[in-house]
Amino acid sequence: MGRQLSFKIFRYNPTLKDNKPHIDFFQIEETPRLNVFTALFKIREEQAPDLVFDFVCRAGVCGSCAMMINGRPTLACRTLTSDLPDTIELFPIPFFKLLGDLSVDTGVWFRQMSEQVESWIHTKEEFDPTAEEERMDNALANKIYETERCIECGCCMAGCATALIYPNFFGAAGLFRIGRFFIDPRDKRKNQDWFELVSTDEGVFGCIGMMGCDDVCPKDLSLLEMFAYIRRKMSGIGLRKRQTVKKDAIF
Amino acid sequence: MRLLTSDVLVIGAGLAGERVAIACASEGLDVTILSLVPPRRSHSCAAQGGMQASLGNSVMGEGDNSTIHWLDTVRGSDWGADQEVARIFTDIAPAAMREMAHFGVPWNRVKGGPQEVFIKGKKTTIVEDFEKEGLITARAFGGTAKWRTCYTADGTGHSVLYTMDNMAVQLGITVHDRMEALRLIHADGNCIGAIVRSLRDGEILAYVAKATVIASGGYGRLYGISTNAIINEGTGSWLALQTGIVPLGNMEAVQFHPTGLVPTDILVTEGCRGDGGLLLDVDEYRFMPDYEPEKQELASRDVVSRRMMEHIQKGKGVKSPYGDHLWLDLRHLGEHHLRTKLREVYDICMYFIGVNPIQELVPVRPTQHYSMGGIRVNKDGHAYNMEGLFAAGEVSCWDLHGFNRLGGNSLAETVVAGMVVGKYVADYAKKSALVADTSLAESFASKEIDKMSHLLNNSGRENVYALRDEIAEVLSNNVGIFRTGGDLENAVARIKDIVSRTGKVKVRTRSTGLNPEISQALRIEGMAKQALVIAAGALARTESRGAHTRLDYPDRDDENWLNRTLARWPEDADEPVLTYESVGILDLPPGERGYGGGKHIPMKATVEEYNARVYEDQKANGLIDTSEPIGSRLPEKAWREGSPGKEVK
């Protein structure tokens, strides 16, 4: 017989009148290689049919199932119960709008972020279907792919202290997205455009450097390195800008 | 009830749906996309391996062209595909890849000079042409004559979907996520939109549009054991079947992917075998060359899956608490390859089953993966029998894949069909008027409201989750890789019983708002009825073709079955009505595939005689006239010269 697991799960359904946030307790028996995905479905199907949570791919690639598992934001589908103690506490990730129980509205936030950072290739070139594609060094293609592996799960925002100070903070997800386009030569935005985008408190200089994002990112993205890279680049641009202004003031 | 209008309504925000939406928005049309989940969580994101397009930049793809791609596709389909649609697809695929590169996809590129690769189990050095350096490269996939599958590591779907959604954001396309279309609004064979339920709070809304496009993916979850995301429950194809007049095509054509992970059923990409991964049995013996000396691990998916099951049935499987499986050996590819080009696979093995593929064998077995069938549409993507309704991507039966789809062809199809169908949808919407018939919308909405009230208040005792599991059990056991008349008769009888019991499902929770149980309960009728369509189609088809393997009818029978199954479910009927139509104009005459064994019974008619009746035959089954005549995109006998077709602009 497997362990008896106790699940303490945050419950709140804002669409029901008189429903108040509370904790529900469930017990299930652990089976080999049980993960939180399977456990939650078991609880829903056998004990709490109205329990709300989000899963899509259940393979760690779609980013739907981030939740607080014993206090840490992570992907529920690939969290094995065997790595957890007998009591498992599940809460929705903070920062995002709560939809109900463990489900939060990451989709709307990430769409807004994409609009805010203009998450697309900025170019005036029209696509010519008869022309050969623009060449790219394979190493650069790999580098861009590395910066595109974010799955928008929201764990970084859930682990972010700065997001609590600046509600419009792009967060690691937004800055990583900016970095993805910054290194892509197909994007013709100029240094000045990038500077305007990230030089505010909402951008890279708002970060207070706790790097909770880097600790919890389930895809092990190089968030720390990307922050440092963008800061260095932007400081350089900012410095040149300042020197120009000073020169103008003196002469 | 709120009624929202737009020029074009797209149901589904995966690659096909978003590409259609982009085609329409680029023409200045107002587009609304509905999606069960945020667009970037759509199942397209889970596609790993890549997209087939005959760019021919890699030295291993040298001399490739759209005709060779077309030949592979038609043969792969076991001649079940519409050859003209396959031609449209293979002609456009190269430009589609370049367009995605222009939008931002970081395709892997050709690196000039010698490269070490694995081909047919042997380490080999290929020398890439420096002239081609920096162009989009390709990897090997099953059932192809050339290396043709364009990729970004093993996150191709993710990368292309993110790029596509970036385009949608740039164009300001409206997306309403967590919305489920429950019913099409239609009258007299004209579709004017859909009745939709918000999964956030249960609100029922009407979305009215000049053109409605279904692009909601496959129905793999009907099988329970599937590589598909848990949202792939056939909700989109049900919308069509529910009309009573729009047919679903070839629903019995179900693909089983050779390498689903054991346990968890998560997909392990065909790119693993393309890059040199090998299949081993309990004795760690490489068995595929014995069955398929030429293609070995890289025969088409239906063939590899059958051979694996055959080998397991000979007692050569590896015993496990989760049933017998085989091994996928990736160890020789080395750490660098597995942690770059196959990193998602590495992560999945490590996180989900604790196996390190650098040092250990990966347990795999054939697992339900793809639905070749779906909403029957003409080559423009227009649904049979329903003006104003279109479909694209996996949910459709456009019919590029026939009875077996090649790996890398479906992800490419999403983008190509999105372009092609998107263009016709835009043309259609531009010449149509918006019909905001509120009383018609109300009458369809009331059917859903009545259904919900029935689910809450009936005196039945059926549990929705138990019924769902029963459907999965019957399909998996009786309508799997190997099928027999007896198993299928049993499946039909059992699913008929399940269909009748869906009316007795009682929802235990009383809320119609944010409530996953009632959401599931609203889907169960469609799931059960589509399961019956699959089983009934499989029972009726007394031959073996592609993925449809009847042990009691092992031959491919072109005399009687060179056709497409069409299933309609008339209102108030207890079972679907099956009819059959020609597969389409034949250019490549039916013949041997060159792998997979099996005999085929040739048709007595000549190709010319067959082709002469295609139009009338399809018309009688509900074909809506295409913008250009049938066959116009199929340059006759182009395959003989091996010359490429004309690119469609």
- Alpha-carbon distance B549 to B404, whole Å? 11
Four-point Cα dihedral B171, B177, B183, B185, nearest 10: -30
By Cβ distance, the residue of B98, B264, B517 closest to A133 is B98
Name the catalytic one among B257, B337, B568, B593: B257
B352/chain A closest Cα distance in angstroms: 6
Instruction: Give the residue with greater pLDDT, B640 vs B182.
Output: B182
Q: B514 — contact with chain A (CB < 8 Å)?
A: yes
**Dihedral pair phi/psi, residue A182, rounded to 5°:** -60, -40
Q: Reply yes or no on whether the pLDDT at A232 is more than 60.
A: yes
B224 CB burial (10 A radius; 0-12, 13-18, 19+): middle
Q: Reply yes or no on whether the pLDDT at A203 is more than 70.
A: yes
For residue A247, name the pLDDT band (cuts at 50, 70, 90): low
Residue of A nearest to B322 (CA): A32
* Beta bridge mates, A9: A24, A90
Residue of B nearest to A128 (CA): B99
The CB density around residue B604, as the number of other CB atoms within 10 Å, is 8
Question: Are B417 and B410 spatial neighbours (Cβ–Cβ below 8 Å)?
Answer: no
Four-point Cα dihedral B555, B557, B563, B565, nearest 10: -50
pLDDT tens-digit map of B573-620: 999 999 999 999 999 999 988 887 778 999 999 999 999 999 999 999
| DSSP E strand boundaries for B47-146 | 51-52, 113-119, 122-128
Name the catalytic one among B273, B405, B468, B483: B273
Domain range annotation of chain A: 4-104, 106-250
pLDDT tens-digit map of A56-114: 999 999 999 999 999 999 999 999 999 999 999 999 999 999 999 999 999 999 999 99
Share of chain B above pLDDT 90, in %: 94
- Alpha-carbon distance B563 to B177, whole Å? 38
B109 and A59 in contact by Cβ < 8 A?
Answer: no
B162 and A134 in contact by Cβ < 8 A?
Answer: no
A62 and B45 in contact by Cβ < 8 A?
Answer: yes
pLDDT tens-digit map of B51-70: 999 999 999 999 999 999 99
**Dihedral pair phi/psi, residue A168, rounded to 5°:** -95, 10
Query: What residues of A are in contact with residue B153 (Cβ under 8 Å)?
Result: 142, 145
Q: What is the mean pLDDT of residues B563-580?
A: 97
Q: What is the mean pLDDT of residues B104-110?
A: 98
Residue of B nearest to A152 (CA): B40
Alpha helix locations (H) across B341-484?
Answer: 343-348, 409-431, 438-457, 464-478
Question: Are B205 and B189 spatial neighbours (Cβ–Cβ below 8 Å)?
Answer: no
Query: What residues of A are in contact with residue B46 (Cβ under 8 Å)?
Result: 57, 59, 61-62
Q: Reply yes or no on whether the pLDDT at B644 is more than 70.
A: no
A120 and B153 in contact by Cβ < 8 A?
Answer: no
CA-based torsion, A187, A193, A195, A199: positive or negative: negative
pLDDT tens-digit map of B133-190: 999 999 999 999 999 999 999 999 999 999 999 999 999 999 999 999 999 999 999 9
Residue of A nearest to B515 (CA): A50
For residue B510, name the pLDDT band (cuts at 50, 70, 90): confident
Integer Rg of chain B from CA: 23
pLDDT of residue A246: 60
- Average pLDDT over chain A reads 92
Whole-structure pTM value:
0.96
Q: Which residues contact B453 (CB under 8 A, 6 or more apart)?
A: none
- Say what the ipTM of the complex is: 0.95
Q: Reply yes or no on whether the pLDDT at B649 is more than 60.
A: no
B152 and A14 in contact by Cβ < 8 A?
Answer: no
Helix, strand, or coil here: B548? strand
A138 and B202 in contact by Cβ < 8 A?
Answer: no
Instruction: Give the residue with greater pLDDT, B354 vs B22.
Output: B22
Question: Which range among B81-85, B498-502, B589-593 shows the weakest confidence by mean pLDDT?
Answer: B589-593
**To which residue do tokens 């013709």 refer?**
A188
Give, as one character, the DSSP assignment of residue B395: T
- Average pLDDT over chain B reads 95
Q: Reply yes or no on whether the pLDDT at B344 is more than 60.
A: yes
pLDDT tens-digit map of B220-271: 999 999 999 999 999 999 999 999 999 999 999 999 999 999 999 999 999 9
Which of 47-76 (B) contact A at CB < 8 A? Answer: none
**Dihedral pair phi/psi, residue B154, rounded to 5°:** -120, 35
Nearest C-alpha neighbor of B233 from the set B368, B105, B359, B76:
B368
- Alpha-carbon distance B225 to B203, whole Å? 32
Counting other chains too, the contacts that B315-324 makes at CB distance below 8 Å and 24 or more residues apart are: B316/B281, B316/B282, B316/B283, B316/B285, B316/B287, B317/B281, B317/B282, B317/B365, B318/B281, B318/B282, B318/B363, B319/B282, B320/B262, B320/B363, B321/A32, B322/B262, B322/B263, B323/B262, B323/B365, B324/B365
The CB density around residue B489, as the number of other CB atoms within 10 Å, is 13
Domain A4-104 falls in which CATH fold? Answer: Ubiquitin-like (UB roll) (3.10.20)
For residue A198, name the pLDDT band (cuts at 50, 70, 90): confident
- Alpha-carbon distance A213 to A220, whole Å? 10
Top residue of B105, B161, B198, B352 to mutate, by most chain A CBs within 10 Å, is B352
Between A and B, how many CB-CB pairs are < 8 A? Answer: 195
Token output for B393: 């991507």
Instruction: Give the residue with greater pLDDT, A241 vs B321.
Output: B321
By Cβ distance, the residue of A57, A111, A137 closest to B45 is A57
pLDDT of residue B648: 38
CATH superfamily of A106-250: Alpha-helical ferredoxin (1.10.1060.10)
For residue B311, indicate whether it is catalytic.
Answer: no
pLDDT of residue B147: 96
A56 and B43 in contact by Cβ < 8 A?
Answer: yes
By Cβ distance, the residue of B104, B135, B230 closest to A120 is B104
For residue B640, name the pLDDT band (cuts at 50, 70, 90): confident
Q: Reply yes or no on whether the pLDDT at A127 is more than 70.
A: yes
By Cβ distance, the residue of A16, A114, A130 closest to B513 is A16
HSE value, Cβ hemisphere, 13 Å, CA-based, for B147: 24
For residue A248, name the pLDDT band (cuts at 50, 70, 90): low
Residue of A nearest to B98 (CA): A133
A184 and B155 in contact by Cβ < 8 A?
Answer: no
Residue of A nearest to B344 (CA): A61
Length of chain B: 649
pLDDT of residue A245: 62
* Sheet arrangement for strand B254-261: B254-261, B362-371, B326-329, B278-280
Nearest C-alpha neighbor of B214 from the set B65, B67, B377:
B377
Share of chain B above pLDDT 70, in %: 99
B508 and A115 in contact by Cβ < 8 A?
Answer: no
- Alpha-carbon distance B255 to B296, whole Å? 19
For residue A236, name the pLDDT band (cuts at 50, 70, 90): confident
Query: What residues of A are in contact with residue B112 (Cβ under 8 Å)?
Result: none
For residue B257, indicate whether it is catalytic.
Answer: yes
Q: Which residues contact B86 (CB under 8 A, 6 or more apart)?
A: B70, B73, B74, B77, B400
pLDDT tens-digit map of A150-167: 999 999 999 999 998 888
Q: B629 — contact with chain A (CB < 8 Å)?
A: no
For residue B564, name the pLDDT band (cuts at 50, 70, 90): very high
